[in-house]
Amino acid sequence: MLLLIPLFPLVGFVVNACLGRRLTKSISGGLACAAMIASFAVSALLVSRILGHDAAPLEFTLFEWMTSGTLHVPFTLRLDHLAAVMILVVTGIGSLIHIYSTGYMHEESDSEYARYFSYLNLFASFMLILVLGANFPVMFVGWEGVGLCSYLLIGFWFRKQSAADAGKKAFVVNRVGDFGFVLGMLLIFATFGTLDFQLVAAAADTRAIEHGAIGVITAATLLLFLGATGKSAQIPLYVWLPDAMEGPTPVSALIHAATMVTAGVYMIGRNAVLFSHAPITLSMVAAIGVATALMAGTIGLVQNDIKRVLAYSTVSQLGYMFLAMGVGAFAAGIFHLYTHAFFKALLFLGSGAVIHALAGEQDLRNMGGLKKYLPVTYWTFLIGALAIAGVPLLSGFFSKDEILFKTFTATNPNRLLLWGIGMVTSLLTATYMFRLVFLAFHGERRVTAHGSAHPEEEEPVAQTGHAQAAAVAHHDSHGHGHGHAHAPHDAPPSMAIPLIVLAIGSVVAGYVGVPHALGGSNRIEQFLEPSFEVSDGRGRLEAAGGGAQSSEPAGVRPVALQESHAPDATESSHDNTSTELMLMALSSGVALAGIGIAWYFWLRNREAVAAMTARFHGPYTVLLHKYYVDELYDAAIVQPIKLLSTGGLWKGADAGLIDGAVNGVGQTVRATSGVLRRAQTGSVRTYAASLFLGVVLILGWYLLKTLRT
């Protein structure tokens, strides 16, 4: 049963990959959607079985995968509470993105369309394996699989140079992180002798917490975290994600919301016990998370490409999730991951609808006034923006507040700094999101005649004349015969329905985690609790003693962090409630202030923006160039590697050493024979003389020998 969850999309992939060329669009697209929905249904059914707090995880072992000495790795899938949240997100949001894609990708030729859906299904399948894997190697299968699929999908329009490059970049940058993941995995096996998550957690739990010392757990978790930074686009490996915008927009939604980038956060949550035994790693995670959040937030403020703004907002929100992980608020991080999946998918699909309506226009400066033409897109997009900005009572508010609150009350010595940067980022988030909304949907329409080419999707070499014609005529009119100068039209039903569903989700998704301060019971935290503890229940008992039944928010934390943080239950709960309410009011204020700033600058007084950019020209340029990180990496890593490869490895080692050895052997033989062939005089007499001389010498020698004895 458990196997069916990743199997459905896999079957969809196989069918579409093998037969896709011969299937019509409705069949290949419908099959892909059906596979995802079936997977979602199975997921929902199975999750309902483990809803209880004490329900044991479901497990299914497919086969013994590796057995060698003490290494023993079964191919096991395990569904616990943490995985439950993840598979619902992956299959649920994934299904909506599939449905949306049937509309968005409609202009592709049949075979391209099938190729697209086969990749999409494979992506979902690998992500589900990643989530359900019960040990590191199985997770790694999914981990690498999503890396592969992101490469395939980002480079989907591979005839376009920039798309192919972006795919390669994503793949290479991810490899760097994967290297860390593999090393961490090996270190864990060497230390604990097992790779099963539960067993590793149990084994780690018996060891001392590595306070202030870099021990083996710290080393292993740091390596794993390197893997997480690659997948989840954190400093220093976030550079691939903004470039990933070269892929089709639904792919961006899939990568950013439901799959891929959440893998790193999930992996840390999956190893919560391990990570909480390494305080150094945790503070590192928090620091990197918050630095990424701030950095991406500032870059997002000045970008002009609608999808790039969203990409940086994803990086920024992922930073929040890592911040939560870093302060030990694992449940809050997963909660944010879950709400973020809704509104980020919504925002990406909404931006896709805008791009679709404007024939591929992605530049915010050429938008404006779209509210009138795209009502569905506008209202859903607005809800998404409100949710991500953290406006009260929407989903983003609950999860983001939870993270900020947990940061504020964390044991981390720099908690106030972390919290402060988190708040600034929150302000930035609200500002850049509403800058996007105001620039795209409000104000006067700045859209001039759209170019006929679809910059995102043009195909320089179309396979057939038909496809070429379609590529020119397609995206703006969606086959309704609109000319280019016509008013943009709203999303077709296949795209509008997912938008509406996601908008509803963005509003209500947060209500599973209403904090105690607002009279809720934070059910998601309680639900996830068992996943972050050692499965023997010791942690749970302790948590209960610490007041998990009351509103003690630290109750969810793994044993490790709680030791130094065991306040009196009733008093602290009272204190925390007032603190939490205060923080909530503060962050709501910040969110509204951010929206206000955006409103002032980009709606009311556009000249102020120009004045500001003129005044702060230096910082503005730096932000516009994304802190020159790409340039820095190019100069510091890419060019030296190129130099080393060209000068050292290619011309030195390959051409010089290897080819040199081969050619050298030939040349030595040639030179030697050049000397030796002088002996071949061609004179019969000489040959005869040497023959004779040789015989005489040999015989003489034997003769001498005989005479001696």
d(CA 672, CA 654): 25
Amino acid at 204: A
Work out the number of other CB atoms within 10 angstroms of the CB of residue 656: 13
Are 64 and 119 a contacting pair, CB within 8 Å? no
Which is nearest to 181 in space by CA: 142, 151, 143, 232?
143
In the bound state with another protein, the residue whose beta carbon lies nearer, of 519 and 674, is 674
In the complex, minimum distance from the CB of residue 670 to another protein, in angstroms, rounded to a whole number: 13
For residue 448, state whether it binds another protein (rule: CB under 8 A): no
Among 677, 706, 708, 709, binds another protein (CB under 8 A): 677
In the complex, minimum distance from the CB of residue 705 to another protein, in angstroms, rounded to a whole number: 20
Among 464, 680, 706, 709, binds another protein (CB under 8 A): 680
d(CA 704, CA 709): 9
Residue 325 falls in which region: left (phi positive, over 0), alpha (psi -120 to 50) or beta: alpha
In the complex, minimum distance from the CB of residue 169 to another protein, in angstroms, rounded to a whole number: 59
In the complex, minimum distance from the CB of residue 686 to another protein, in angstroms, rounded to a whole number: 10
Amino acid at 105: M
For residue 605, state whether it binds another protein (rule: CB under 8 A): no
Are 503 and 346 a contacting pair, CB within 8 Å? yes
In the complex, minimum distance from the CB of residue 660 to another protein, in angstroms, rounded to a whole number: 28
In the bound state with another protein, the residue whose beta carbon lies nearer, of 448 and 680, is 680
Residue 682 falls in which region: left (phi positive, over 0), alpha (psi -120 to 50) or beta: left
d(CA 81, CA 335): 12
In the complex, minimum distance from the CB of residue 647 to another protein, in angstroms, rounded to a whole number: 41
Among 670, 685, 705, 708, binds another protein (CB under 8 A): 685
Residue 208 falls in which region: left (phi positive, over 0), alpha (psi -120 to 50) or beta: beta
Are 394 and 510 a contacting pair, CB within 8 Å? yes
In the complex, minimum distance from the CB of residue 709 to another protein, in angstroms, rounded to a whole number: 21
Per-residue interface string for the shown chain with another protein, residues 621-660, x marking contact by CB under 8 A: ----------------------------------------
How many degrees, rounded to 5, is the angle at CA 328 between CA 326 and CA 334?
A: 85
Number of residues engaging another protein in binding (CB under 8 A): 11
C-alpha torsion angle, residues 588, 591, 592, 598 (rounded to 10): 180
Query: Which region among 173-181, 387-395, 503-511, 687-695 touches another protein (by CB under 8 A)?
Result: 687-695
How many degrees, rounded to 5, is the angle at CA 197 between CA 181 and CA 121?
A: 65
In the bound state with another protein, the residue whose beta carbon lies nearer, of 208 and 676, is 676
* DSSP code, position 64: E
For residue 554, how many C-alpha atoms fall within 13 Å in the half-sphere facing its CB?
Answer: 26
For residue 682, state whether it binds another protein (rule: CB under 8 A): yes
Query: Which region among 134-142, 519-527, 597-605, 677-685 touches another protein (by CB under 8 A)?
Result: 677-685
In three-state secondary structure terms, 480 is coil
DSSP secondary structure of 1-14: -TTHHHHHHHHHHH
In the bound state with another protein, the residue whose beta carbon lies nearer, of 675 and 704, is 675
In the bound state with another protein, the residue whose beta carbon lies nearer, of 666 and 682, is 682
In the bound state with another protein, the residue whose beta carbon lies nearer, of 68 and 683, is 683
Are 389 and 595 a contacting pair, CB within 8 Å? yes
For residue 669, state whether it binds another protein (rule: CB under 8 A): no
For residue 688, state whether it binds another protein (rule: CB under 8 A): yes
Are 170 and 123 a contacting pair, CB within 8 Å? no
Measure CA 512 to chain center. Answer: 24
In the complex, minimum distance from the CB of residue 653 to another protein, in angstroms, rounded to a whole number: 37
For residue 702, state whether it binds another protein (rule: CB under 8 A): no
In the complex, minimum distance from the CB of residue 664 to another protein, in angstroms, rounded to a whole number: 23
Measure CA 682 to chain center. Answer: 77
In the bound state with another protein, the residue whose beta carbon lies nearer, of 680 and 709, is 680
Residue 72 falls in which region: left (phi positive, over 0), alpha (psi -120 to 50) or beta: beta
Query: Which region among 206-214, 552-560, 579-587, 683-691 touches another protein (by CB under 8 A)?
Result: 683-691
In the complex, minimum distance from the CB of residue 678 to another protein, in angstroms, rounded to a whole number: 7
In the complex, minimum distance from the CB of residue 682 to another protein, in angstroms, rounded to a whole number: 3
Which is nearest to 322 in space by CA: 294, 288, 356, 349?
288
In the bound state with another protein, the residue whose beta carbon lies nearer, of 208 and 684, is 684
Are 250 and 153 a contacting pair, CB within 8 Å? no
Query: Which region among 72-80, 574-582, 661-669, 674-682 touches another protein (by CB under 8 A)?
Result: 674-682
In the complex, minimum distance from the CB of residue 669 to another protein, in angstroms, rounded to a whole number: 15
In the complex, minimum distance from the CB of residue 646 to another protein, in angstroms, rounded to a whole number: 42
In the bound state with another protein, the residue whose beta carbon lies nearer, of 664 and 694, is 694
For residue 161, state whether it binds another protein (rule: CB under 8 A): no
For residue 689, state whether it binds another protein (rule: CB under 8 A): yes
For residue 709, state whether it binds another protein (rule: CB under 8 A): no
Among 616, 627, 692, 701, binds another protein (CB under 8 A): 692
For residue 704, state whether it binds another protein (rule: CB under 8 A): no
Residue with tokens 């033989």: 669
Residue ranges that bind another protein, judged by CB under 8 A: 677-678, 680-685, 688-689, 692
